[in-house]
Each structure stands twice: as structure tokens, then as C-alpha cells.
A = this chain, B = another copy of it.
């Protein structure tokens, strides 16, 4: 069973939930269908060999698995690397929304493969937004085409979530370049054989820089210098990881021989802002990785459940039924499918806000994207862990055997909640930085958007919706009150009460927003059926939205209680953890 891109479902979500209207429907379908063919036909077949082969490291060189170089060439030559980059830089100039669907596909097919273009995209965003004209002229087209992939060099052994502790140094060389020295760890695709050059974006400190995060600058440090010589940097080792074995996670040594040559991106000591440009793009894309791997796990589990026969279902004629006929297995599969659909909708909604921020709506849309990004990243990747684990469970004993493939998806997915800012960091970002945007108005406006979905359900009043409207209304009420609590706690003299509830608050936000998205999907499907459409996918969308509301969104009330009254632990956590 190989990955198949769910193009009709993607198109429906793009149009009816995220509101794609800038691309002709036929064009969108043509692009997604072609991307689906590449994902399923070229990238997915390499997923298993990538897991088994890994990326052997010897003498500073990293070898990608058999077939990866050819697949990467097909991918870049098809122009898929720079979908949303500006045409001026060799990109396709397509909306982020279209790109989001494609990113989901590459990663649904093969998470380890999808990481390479994902990081390059972050590099493109940072360079396009903050790079000098000269630097852009030299590097941007190569990044957009994918001929030279980019990396993000942030983490050091002592500096993970806390970048204030960075030690890598950059000294002005006098000729407009800088000499970079230091060690970085966990550098994804820091070294490999997919391309002739690799463009490292490196956070480092200037000699006179202030301490902390206000003294960090961003540098472009290529593996091969413009004159064709090797730069003074090398991969010093790779990690042995739980998953994404085919994505080399490198330790990088800069400046063994006096300093790697780098060029400043943006202003001195303003590296953090540049980094957030690439980080925000990367965070949404990691959310989309979660959607992709959840979709892959769901397809695989469903196919197995339709084939494997065990036990006789109630009312079945035959002695043994396919396990998909058993209610408990249905619950697992519907949970997988509903969570995947909700995570997809939230990620697409975030991409749509980014697109809208470049149009007449401007800043409010950008604020909306800022609000939604941590939700898209953390909620989608938490769900990816749950969905891929359910995927193992549906397979029973077979799921624990590596050859089946379900376990790989679970292992691969486990990194998503950790990298590009752990999900705890996302939760703190949502509560402490994003909720206060415009005095809370950005969040309130998103809640109002959810409320309109609930009102739409009530107005339509179709019996097929079951308790969907009531559950969504309950969820929104919980989210609304929890939002007030978080905002008030931030303003109080006990801000730790807000931080204590940050993770359940993000879960509540994502869960409710997902419910509103699926309600919009159900409303559009209902309208289509009323208009005489007969596609069984429409009734399926309504059934799935109802399942989500009646079985998953039910967690909202408890999450509200936890956010509002659960934070007492900060007083005696030390006590409870000391023993």
C-alpha cells in the first residue's frame, strides 16, 4: 500500500474551508494532480529504503539512500521547489495555499525527503525578506530552483529552546565578509550528496554583540564559496535517531582552519527577526508534515482494516468480517480521519491568511497568520503522533513488526512535535505573544469566525448534523472563557498561571478551530447535496464532521477546566517532583 495524494479532499478544503479564490479551479486541480503523481510515483517509493538505508557518514561525507539523488533531480527540475517564490526569482508565484497542499503531499509520501525542500523554503523566505540585493542575486535563484538547498543552523549543545545561550562567533573580515567559528548540532541536511552546494544560514554573535538574543546575527555561509573552493566548514557526525533515518541530522563544525566565510543577512544583531521569518514558514510546514504523515497512516490503516478479517461483526452474514466492520476499529479509523481533516484545514487556513496578508487585507491577515501558526504547528503534530500510533494499533501485532511500515510512520512523526520549536514553546508563543496581539482582538475575531460556523449549522438544521451544532457551540464557549482567563492571567501578577495552562489552551484552541473547520466542510457538503450532487464524498464529509463533534470535540469542556483551574500546581510542583 503506497501513499496516494487525497487531491479531491484537498481541493474541497482549499475552496470551502480556507477560501481559495485566487486560482482558477481547473488550474488548481491540474497542479495538485500533477504534484500527487510525483508524490505517489517518485517520492513515496523511496520511503522504506530511506528508513532502512539511512545516510551513512564517512570522512565528512553523507550518502543519501539509493534513488534519492534521482528523485530530488526530478523534483527540482519539475519546478516544485519554488512554488510560492516570486517569478522574479525563478519561482512559480503561486499562492501559499497551493504550496501548502503540495507540501502536505511530499511529506505524506516521505517525511525524510520532504524535509530538504522544507528547509530550503525557510532559507528562501529569510533571504528574500532580509538579504542584500547582491546576496539575493547570487543565491536566491539557486535556492528557488532547489539546485542548492538551504539549512538552518540554530541549535548548539547548550542552546536549544534558549537561543540566548548561543556561542558561535562571527568576526568581520574587513572585506564585507565575516569569519564564522563554532559548533552546531541537529542540523537537518547539513551535509549530503543531493546537490553540489549547500547554503547554510547560521546564527552567530559578533564580537561586540550584547548578551542574550539581542546580540545574535544571521549569516549566509555556503559550503562552496563563489570562487569554487570549499568553505571552512564540515559535518563532524550524524545522529542515530528514532525516525526520519534518511534525513541526515548533522553536527557541523565551522572554522576549524580560522573561520568559515559568511555574509550578513539583514542587520547586525537583528538575526532573531530574520530567523523568525524562516522559522514561521518552517513552523507551518512542520504542521503540514504532520498532516501528511497522518494522512499516510490513515490510508494504510484503512486499507489493512478493509482486508484483514477477524471476528464476526454484529449482524454480519459471514463467519468473519473485515475488521473495519467492528465499531471499535471504526472508532480508531474515524478518529484518524477526522483529526487528519481538522489538522489539514487549520494548516490551510494559516496558509490562506499568509496569502491574504499580501493582498488588500494586509496586517490583520498577517496577525491572523501569526496567531494560527503555533496552533497549526503544535496541534497538527500532536495529532500526527496520536494518529500514527492509532495506525499501529489498527494493525494489531503486525503494527509492531517493522516490515509492515506502520511503525515507521509513528517513529518518523515523533520529531514533529520537537523540532522548529517544541510544542511547549508553541503553546507559550500562542498564550504569551499571540493572544495579546491587538489587545486580544485577533483571537476574538478568530473565535467569531468559529461562531459563524456554529450559527450556520443551526440555521441549516439538518438532522444529519446530529449534535454537531451543540458540541461546537459548547466548544466555542469553553475556548472563549479560557481565552479570557489566559489574557487576564497574563495581565495579573501571576503570569505563570497563564503559562501553566498554555498547553491545554493550545489543544482547546486547535480542537475547537478544527471543529469549526469541519462544520464549514459539512455545511458546504450539505449545500452540494441539496443542490442535487450525488458524490458520496459529500455525505462522508458530513458524517466525519459529526463524528468529530460528538466524539472528539467533547474534550473541550475538560480542557477549559484544566486551563482555568488547573494551574495551582505551579505552587507545589517542586514539592510533588522532589520526591
With contacts A540-B575, A540-B579, A577-B302 taken as known, whether A418 is within 8 angstroms of B397 at the C-beta atoms is yes
With contacts A241-B402, A331-B500, A389-B385 taken as known, whether A536 is within 8 angstroms of B314 at the C-beta atoms is no
With contacts A310-B165, A410-B414, A558-B556 taken as known, whether A565 is within 8 angstroms of B550 at the C-beta atoms is yes
Chain B residues with CB under 8 Å of A418's CB are 392-393, 396-397, 399-400
Give the distance in Å from the alpha carbon of A569 to the alpha carbon of B543 in the complex.
7
Question: Does chain B have a CB within 8 A of A2?
Answer: no
Contact A320 B165 (CB under 8 A): yes
A 537-577 contacts with B by CB, 8 A:
537, 539-540, 543-544, 546-547, 550-552, 554-559, 561-562, 565-570, 572-577
Question: Does chain B have a CB within 8 A of A403?
Answer: yes
For the complex of A and B, 3 pairs with smallest distance between CB atoms:
A543-B576, A162-B310, A554-B558
Taken residue by residue from 412 to 429, chain A's Cβ proximity to chain B (1 for < 8 Å, 0 otherwise) reads as 001101110011100110
Contact B569 A562 (CB under 8 A): no
Chain B residues with CB under 8 Å of A243's CB are 400
The stretch among A61-69, A142-150, A321-329, A452-460 that forms the contact with chain B is: A321-329
Contact B328 A242 (CB under 8 A): no
Chain B residues with CB under 8 Å of A242's CB are 392, 400-402, 407, 410-411
Chain B residues with CB under 8 Å of A53's CB are none
Residues of A with Cβ closer than 8 Å to B? 155, 159-162, 164-165, 185-186, 239-243, 302, 310-311, 314-315, 319-320, 324, 326-334, 337, 385, 389, 392-393, 396-397, 399-403, 407, 410-411, 414-415, 417-419, 422-424, 427-428, 466-467, 471, 495-496, 499-500, 502-504, 536-537, 539-540, 543-544, 546-547, 550-552, 554-559, 561-562, 565-570, 572-579
Contact A241 B400 (CB under 8 A): yes
Chain B residues with CB under 8 Å of A502's CB are 327-328
Chain B residues with CB under 8 Å of A559's CB are 554
Contact A466 B540 (CB under 8 A): no
19 contacts between A and B (CB under 8 A): A159-B310, A161-B311, A239-B400, A241-B401, A327-B569, A328-B502, A329-B424, A334-B577, A407-B414, A466-B568, A467-B565, A539-B572, A540-B576, A543-B576, A550-B561, A550-B565, A550-B569, A554-B558, A558-B558
Closest CB-CB distance, A525 to chain B, in whole Å? 11
Contact of A503 among B331, B392, B557 (CB under 8 A): B331
Contact A314 B575 (CB under 8 A): no
Closest CB-CB distance, A7 to chain B, in whole Å? 12
Contact A392 B414 (CB under 8 A): yes
Chain B residues with CB under 8 Å of A499's CB are 314, 326-328
Give the distance in Å from the alpha carbon of A423 to the alpha carbon of B428 in the complex.
34
Contact A162 B311 (CB under 8 A): yes
Which chain B residue shows the least CB distance to A495? Answer: B314
Give the distance in Å from the alpha carbon of A399 to the alpha carbon of B570 in the complex.
25
Closest CB-CB distance, A391 to chain B, in whole Å? 11
Contact A400 B424 (CB under 8 A): no
Contact B331 A186 (CB under 8 A): no
Contact of A328 among B311, B337, B428, B556 (CB under 8 A): B428
Give the distance in Å from the alpha carbon of A333 to the alpha carbon of B579 in the complex.
12
Contact of A557 among B155, B424, B558 (CB under 8 A): B558
Chain B residues with CB under 8 Å of A331's CB are 500, 503, 569
Contact B327 A575 (CB under 8 A): no
> Which of A186, A397, A428, A555 has the largest count of B CB atoms less than 10 A from its CB?
A397
Contact B576 A396 (CB under 8 A): no
Contact A576 B334 (CB under 8 A): yes
Given contacts A540-B576, A551-B569, 8 further A-B contacts (CB under 8 A): A186-B397, A314-B496, A315-B496, A337-B577, A410-B414, A543-B569, A546-B569, A557-B558
Give the distance in Å from the alpha carbon of A115 to the alpha carbon of B280 in the complex.
46
Contact B554 A562 (CB under 8 A): yes
Contact A577 B411 (CB under 8 A): no
Closest CB-CB distance, A426 to chain B, in whole Å? 10
Contact of A423 among B334, B393, B397, B550 (CB under 8 A): B393
Give the distance in Å from the alpha carbon of A186 to the alpha carbon of B404 in the complex.
14
> Which of A546, A556, A566 has the largest count of B CB atoms less than 10 A from its CB?
A566
With contacts A414-B400, A547-B576 taken as known, whether A424 is within 8 angstroms of B328 at the C-beta atoms is yes
Which chain B residue shows the least CB distance to A545? Answer: B576
Give the distance in Å from the alpha carbon of A573 to the alpha carbon of B558 in the complex.
26
Contact B575 A539 (CB under 8 A): yes
Contact of A327 among B327, B392, B496 (CB under 8 A): B496
> Which of A241, A243, A327 has the largest count of B CB atoms less than 10 A from its CB?
A327
